[in-house]
A and B are shown apart, each in its own frame.
Chain A
Amino acid sequence: MSTAATMNTADVVEVTASEPSTQTGYRSFNLGGFTFSRDEYFARVGWEAKGQQMSHSMSADAFLRAMMRDVAWGFFYGWVNFDPVIGTRNHYGTVDMYAGSYYPAYRDSGLDHQENFDSRLMMATFKAILDDWTNEGFDPFAAPEEAGNGWFGKKNGNNRAAIERAREACLRMPGLPGDANLRSDANGFPINRAFADVSQEEPEVYAEPGFEGEVSAFNLFAFLSRSDVTWNPSVTSVCGRSLACPTTEEYILPIKHGNDRIEWFIQLSDQIEWEIEDKHTGAPRAKVMMKAGDVSAMPADIRHQGFSRKRSMLLVWENATPNLPELYETGQLKPWPVEF
């Protein structure tokens, strides 16, 4: 290993990485008691429990798709389960990495492992893994038809342009002066193949002089039709702590999102099926099938994973009030949104 995996007092983030493998070209990484390695097909996470070395493998493409979302979302709200065994939990400043902690067979046998890290160290480590393990010709943000198949095999270049996309978040609404840009061919957002039939006609805006920055509208569906990523919400309107986070979805959400608060889904187009599980055990609870115009809450005590057979538009609605996780965790708020 080349460096120590610590945060020092000068806030210098040091990522622990090996030299490239002479066999595959990929580096291995350490984060506390966790090890990360990959070969031609598989990513492996290792940890020690009850005196024995444990390991868990995922297909490298699935691992990279999951880690890409965790990085892009800044560890998101709550839990990001890469699969039933490994994942992260956001404490907003620090982040847990766990293996088996929410998988009863491991946890009940004492074979799970969980550590808490400064979020800057975990982010730097995850970004370094993504950078090293993502080959040229693979975009972990894209739908299967667009992602390329360069994920397998020995190390072959990189795809930094794909993995360093910034998440788009407006201050008030895209298109307002000084706010997020609208999407167009000119700024690198062509219409996605699956939304070629979506109208690009803009609303008619007639602002009186002096009110150009307040009388404003844009074509949200056209904006979404030009999204170049899947399962990666943008913020398109802000009302206090209420954030509209629409996104385009195709194939399978690469993670299972465990909620630390209630969120809501409004299906804007097409359809998505959601598999709902208990947040702590993974036990199946329900399947929610959403079609255009459907609205459904995602309670605060579940994990969920979406399946979208055709690229669809989903409005994810989040409440960004800071102390919500504590209020739900302590039972001060019920995990469902309304009583009737």
Chain B
Amino acid sequence: MNSFHTTFGSLQDYQKGGIEIVADNPKYYAFSNIFEVANKSAPYEKVAVALNLGYVYEALRIEGQSGWFAAPHDEFAIIMDGEVEVQFIKLADPAAIYSDDSKGSVPLAGQPAGQPMGRVVARRGHQVMLPEGAAYRFTARAIGVMLLQTMDGPATVHKWADICLK
């Protein structure tokens, strides 16, 4: 009989850890919880929860339908709670959306021109590639949370003082 139980978090059910300080500053750890962050976020608000010299992990609340985004580099989404459909379009003219030295995902004004590439339906634990040169849009099938590995871009939201232990 297997006696193990694997604990994942969700928007409705998570526990937050913490820091016991001996001789340190808790701010140095920028400690947060993605479910707590997403519980206070607007749908698809791209809140930075980890930052390393221009690279970021963002926590996004999955709810309703997002606008279209595109990035000049690969991005990767990990679904941590809920269910989402991701639609992809191969950009007909990437240069009209971002330059070669752009970083992070760019919100688009509407559906871009290009060839449909397909779609993915993902649930907890699934990792989806958001490939360079493609536009993508999220549609929630169940409200949830995703982590996005990307670069610090124009749509990234920094609100560290609101989300981190102090």
Contact = CB atoms under 8 A, between A and B. Distances in A.
Interface in B12-56: 14-36, 49-53, 55
Interface in A275-329: 276, 283-299, 310-311, 315, 317, 319, 321, 324
Contact of A241 (B26, B55, B127): B55
Among B8, B15, B121, chain A packs the most CB atoms within 10 A around the CB of B8
Nearest to B84: A203
Contact of B52 (A176, A215, A319): A319
Contacts of B18: 289
A216 B52 CA distance: 26
A55 to B, nearest CB: 31
Contacts of B53: 319, 321, 324, 333
B149 interface: yes
B6 interface: yes
A212 to B, nearest CB: 8
Interface string B70-101: 00011110101000000010100000000000
A217 B117 contact: no
A297 B73 CA distance: 24
B150 A239 contact: yes
A238 B125 contact: no
B2 A197 contact: yes
Interface size bucket, B side? 35 or more
A49 interface: no
B7 A271 contact: yes
A338 B28 CA distance: 8
A306 to B, nearest CB: 13
B122 to A, nearest CB: 4
A340 B160 contact: yes
Contacts of A236: 127
A205 interface: yes
B107 interface: no
A199 B125 contact: yes
Interface in A74-122: none
A51 interface: no
A221 B125 contact: yes
Nearest to B148: A239
Interface string A194-216: 11111101111111100100111
Interface in B96-128: 115-128
Nearest to A173: B129
Nearest to B136: A215
Contact of A311 (B4, B16, B34): B4
Contacts of A198: 6, 125
A310 B4 CA distance: 8
Interface residues of A, number: 77
A181 interface: no
B30 A338 contact: yes
A324 B151 CA distance: 18
Contacts of B5: 197
A336 B118 contact: no
Nearest to A199: B125
A172 interface: yes
Given A196-B2, A204-B121, A297-B30, A291 B16 contact: yes
A125 B127 CA distance: 39
Interface of A: 172-173, 176, 193-199, 201-208, 211, 214-222, 236-242, 244, 262-264, 266-271, 276, 283-299, 310-311, 315, 317, 319, 321, 324, 333, 335-340
Given A208-B115, A284-B22, A295-B34, 19 more contacts: A172-B129, A196-B2, A217-B129, A218-B126, A266-B147, A292-B7, A292-B8, A292-B9, A293-B9, A293-B36, A293-B80, A294-B16, A296-B31, A297-B31, A299-B29, A317-B57, A321-B53, A338-B30, A340-B30
18 contacts: A173-B127, A173-B129, A196-B2, A197-B6, A205-B118, A205-B120, A211-B118, A216-B129, A218-B127, A240-B151, A284-B23, A286-B26, A292-B9, A294-B33, A297-B28, A310-B6, A315-B147, A337-B52
For the complex of A and B, 8 pairs with smallest distance between CB atoms: A221-B125, A293-B9, A340-B160, A242-B55, A289-B17, A292-B9, A336-B28, A204-B121
